[in-house]
Amino acid sequence: MNWFLLILAGLLEVGWAIGLKYTEGFTRPLPSVLTVAAIILSMVFLGLALKTLPVGTAYAVWVGIGIVGTFFLSAVLFNEPTSALRILSVLLIVAGIVGLKLTSGS
């Protein structure tokens, strides 16, 4: 259950990272409210996951999900640049996340 909460927290991190772009410096009310809500929920779920998961592992996985999701979603939504080397670099982050999960013992 805690891994599920951690993954959910990471997905919400992607949501608020992308949401920041839509807030236009927190000048747009609806995107701003949704972004702040995603930040709060992401932290709540991360905190709940930390009840049993090691903080170093959980934080690295949370950030990793945020990095990978934000990278790919920003390429799709905002036409941000991608290249073979950039994608390979993100895949190395995915490998690190999988490695942390496999060696966490939970």
- SS3 category, 18: helix
The pLDDT of residue 4 = 96
Cα separation, 82 vs 32, in Å, equals 27
The pTM of the whole model exceeds 0.95 = no
Cα separation, 104 vs 106, in Å, equals 6
The pLDDT of residue 97 = 86
Cα separation, 97 vs 100, in Å, equals 5
Ordered per-residue pLDDT tens for the chain, 106 residues? 899 999 999 999 999 999 999 999 999 999 999 999 999 999 999 999 999 999 988 999 999 999 999 999 999 999 999 999 999 999 999 998 888 888 877 5
76, 29 in Cβ contact below 8 A?
no
